[in-house]
Amino acid sequence: MVKFLDLKAVTALHRDEIQEAVRSAVDSGWYLLGERVGQFERAYASYIGTKHAVGCANGLDALACIYQACLELGRMKPGDEVIVPANTYIASILAITQNGLVPVLVEPREDMLEIDPDRIESHITNRTRSLMIVHLYGRCAYSEKIGDLCRKYNLLLVEDNAQAHGCRWNGRRTGSLGFAAGHSFYPGKNLGALGDAGAVTTDDDALAAAVRAIANYGSSRKYVFDYCGRNSRLDEIQAAVLGVKLKYLDAENERRRAIARMYYSQIRNPRIHWPAVLPDEQNVFHLFPVLAEERDRLQQFLQENGIQTLIHYPIPPHKQACYRAWNGRSLPVTEKIHAQELSLPIGPAMTDADVETVIDALNRFGR
């Protein structure tokens, strides 16, 4: 049986060190707003290449805190529009609507699976204040063109870096390319905690201070509340785990790339396609998406051959009941991707034998 992602095996790669870090946090008697969070924040900011990293409870909150902070600081107003890819995970869009902002869905490029830079400009209105790019599947969504558009129209560039820890564009890490970025450390992400966790990175001092306050009830001094905030803090135990795992992130991303190279070079089946291959630095292979017209049959076939796969994602945001008003809209590229996408197993603990099992089954599909 090849699991989609064997989290037990992923944790086992650094089990002793993680257990020691957790034990030390447990024994410290200090569980929130302590030195382990501070240490991890400094290490993560230095890794990403930003002035600040602020721990949050999860990735959705990280993104939502960025937009709430933009509102509190007067950088945005309720009703402002935020351009966002139509084919993202629901959290990207929830972070916008939870703040009374208006998401404007833009189609992706079919060969890249990321927002189509050539379709952005026609969606910009006099209410557009921000562009959110999502480095989906671990693929860099940034480009020169996106930077130019943000400068030309004075848009706050927010990166959803939940799936792309360690990814780079021209040597700079994703998460440092815009005004601010939200990161998720959900256990299955490339940098995963043993529970929920997240962070905001930014070079902007005022934004960092506002996010830190908002995530702590809106308070920057005990029992003094500047904003109607929320409780969204990173805890000491998760910070201790993340501090261990961060040290191995680059090596684990390299292992993901090695697996991807095996897939690229050995899968030979006209029924199976994949998006354009990016330069190594621009892909940390959070997922390995393939596209197949007979996607559901392919998934079934792999299941019968002992291989677990997942679909990212079966229903696009504009067809979800939570966004009922958009249900009648037609976004054909997004819908096609959602109908054809299948994510193959990939992860730092996967063995070469597992990879070969997957390749062998894919090469037998439909023959």
Ligand X SMILES: *Cc1c(COP(=O)(O)O)cnc(C)c1O
Write out the residues near ligand X by the rule CB under 6 A.
58-60, 88-89, 91-92, 134, 136, 160, 162-163, 184, 186, 196, 198
User: What stretches of the chain show up as alpha helix (H) in DSSP?
Assistant: 7-12, 15-28, 35-48, 59-72, 90-97, 144-153, 205-214, 236-246, 249-266, 295-304, 332-340, 352-364
Residue nearest to ligand X (CB): 59
Closest distance between ligand X and the C-beta of residue 217, in Å?
A: 19
- DSSP one-letter code for 234: P
Alpha carbons 290 and 205: distance in angstroms, whole number:
41
With respect to ligand X, which residue has the nearer C-beta, 167 or 359? 167
Closest distance between ligand X and the C-beta of residue 33, in Å?
A: 20
| Tokens (6 digits) for 340 | 């054809």
With respect to ligand X, which residue has the nearer C-beta, 58 or 282? 58
Give the three-state DSSP class for 277. Answer: coil
Closest distance between ligand X and the C-beta of residue 251, in Å?
A: 22
With respect to ligand X, which residue has the nearer C-beta, 53 or 359? 53
Closest distance between ligand X and the C-beta of residue 245, in Å?
A: 15
With respect to ligand X, which residue has the nearer C-beta, 68 or 92? 92
Bond prior to 137 in cis (omega within 30° of 0): no
Closest distance between ligand X and the C-beta of residue 224, in Å?
A: 28
Alpha carbons 291 and 338: distance in angstroms, whole number:
9
With respect to ligand X, which residue has the nearer C-beta, 132 or 208? 132
Closest distance between ligand X and the C-beta of residue 102, in Å?
A: 19
C-alpha dist (Å) from residue 280 to 32, 70, 139, 234, 315: 37, 34, 10, 31, 29
With respect to ligand X, which residue has the nearer C-beta, 114 or 160? 160
